[in-house]
Amino acid sequence: MEQTPMQEPAASQQPNKKKNNTKRVVLIVVCCVVAVVAIAGAYIGTSKAQYDDAVAQLQQHEYDQASFTLSKIPEFVAQDLPQLKALAAAGVLFESGAYKDAQSAFEELGDFLYSLELAEECAQFDREERLAQAEALFSGGDAEQAEELFDSVKAEVDVEEQNQIDLTRALLYYDAEKYDASFEIAKELSDYPGAKDLLVSSAVERARVAEDTGNFYVAYSMVTPYLDSTIAQEYVHSLREGLYQQGVSYAADYIFEMAKPCFDAAGNYKDATDYLKIMELSNKIYQNEGDGIFELLPYIDNEVAHGLMHEYYLPYYLKGTWRGDGYMFEAEDDGYSSDLPGTKDAPQCYFIEGTAYLRDADGNTAEWVDIKIIDRDTIEVYAYSNEKTYTLTRR
């Protein structure tokens, strides 16, 4: 029986087959490792690109986008990934207007990247928001709450910013027509830019209140410290008529200590200087018992000068002898003598507002004559007894 020749080679091929399978497995494993490495490399590369994108987005203050980008990056890619995520989250708070919370979040990050700068920026935005709220409250009539907010901001800033806040407060009070408050605040600001004009404007508005009540000199006094300002100068110019009229009113009542400041303030307005001269002469005549009486005569048409001459200083003026129309009147320090109609024997004579009265021995009084000064040496005498007027001249 013949043997099959192929049986022996089949048995000899078994080791080669195993060898080939082993190679195939090794190859597959190598390929898998390479694939994994390639995939891992690609993944890490993508994550690194995302990291760079996130950092750029943070630098551009695109906090929402940065948060989204960072959320896709695995923790092992970068050690500072938690801080970056915290920075982005704080930025989202900042953009939402939660400045205080954002400030706290940035401060917790310490000096990581530009966290401290962002914390200060949050603080600034928060202060600005409180200032805006304070202005809104003030405009709404809640000045007390507004002042509390202003104070809270002032406590956090330097002197320069405090001054700016105070200037804002003063302007708010000025716009609300609370001029006393705006004046006091502006006064405290001294030479801070813009404060001087506001101070003077407030002083002028305060003065207008006094002016409206007729106290023109009080109004004038309230702005005189600021006459180096055009605003104050223009206001004082507008006060001249009121000052003049107030001075005339005081002078008519012979209240010269009140009239003089008014006329001084009015300056050369109308005949204010005449009034000042009349008051000066009046004081001279009074102090020197009639000396200078004739210096008052050029002003005799002035109501006050006319009143002074006829009500107070007529005895000084009449000293001497007067004659005219067949009559005589003589005035000396020790009394009067006359033959004018109505004269009584040994009369006791006294004057009230230009009218001479006689008092007899029994104390009875009667109007005698009315004397009107014409000039230095001429008078008109009206006799009450016969209702006639006589002209007498000084002899």
Q: What is the pLDDT of residue 36?
A: 46
Q: How far is Cα 260 from Cα 275, in angstroms, rounded to an integer?
A: 8
Prediction pTM value: 0.70
Nearest residue to 266 (alpha-carbon basis) of 209, 219, 213: 219
- Of all residues in the chain, the percent with pLDDT exceeding 90 is 61
When pLDDT is cut at 50, 70 and 90, the band that residue 42 belongs to is very low
- pLDDT at residue 347 tops 70: no
Structural domains present in the chain: 49-212 (no CATH), 319-395 (2.40.128)
φ, ψ of residue 391 in degrees (nearest 5): -105, 125
Q: How confident is the model at residue 38 (pLDDT cuts 50, 70, 90)?
A: very low
41 or 365: which carries more pLDDT confidence?
365
Please report the pLDDT score of residue 25 as a whole number: 56
pLDDT value, residue 259: 97
pLDDT at position 215 over 60: yes
pLDDT at 370 over 60: yes
383 bridge partner residues: 369, 388
What is the per-residue pLDDT for 357?
A: 78
Q: What is the pLDDT of residue 75?
A: 80
> What pLDDT digit, counting tens, does each position of 185-194 carry?
999 998 899 9
Please check whether residue 182 is in contact with residue 171, taking contact to mean a CB–CB distance below 8 angstroms: yes
Residue 205 tokens read as 């508005």
What distance in Å separates the CA atoms of residue 15 and residue 34, rounded to the nearest whole number? Answer: 29
Single out the residue of 361, 357, 375, 225 nearest to residue 296, CA to CA: 375
Task: State percent of the chain over pLDDT 70.
Answer: 87
261: alpha, beta or left? (left if phi > 0; alpha if psi -120 to 50): alpha
Q: Per-residue confidence at 10, pLDDT binned at 50, 70, 90?
A: low
Type and span of the H or E element at 160: helix 159-175
Q: How far is CA 84 from CA 89, 99, 302, 310, 380, in A?
A: 9, 19, 92, 100, 110
- In tens, the pLDDT along 237-275 reads 999 999 999 999 999 999 999 999 999 999 999 999 999
Look at residue 349 and tell me whether its pLDDT is greater than 90: no
The residues facing 351 across adjacent strands are 356
Does 13 have pLDDT greater than 60? Answer: no
> Is the predicted pLDDT of residue 108 greater than 50, yes or no?
yes
Find where tokens 């001087």 sit: 196
Residue reference for tokens 């009143």: 307
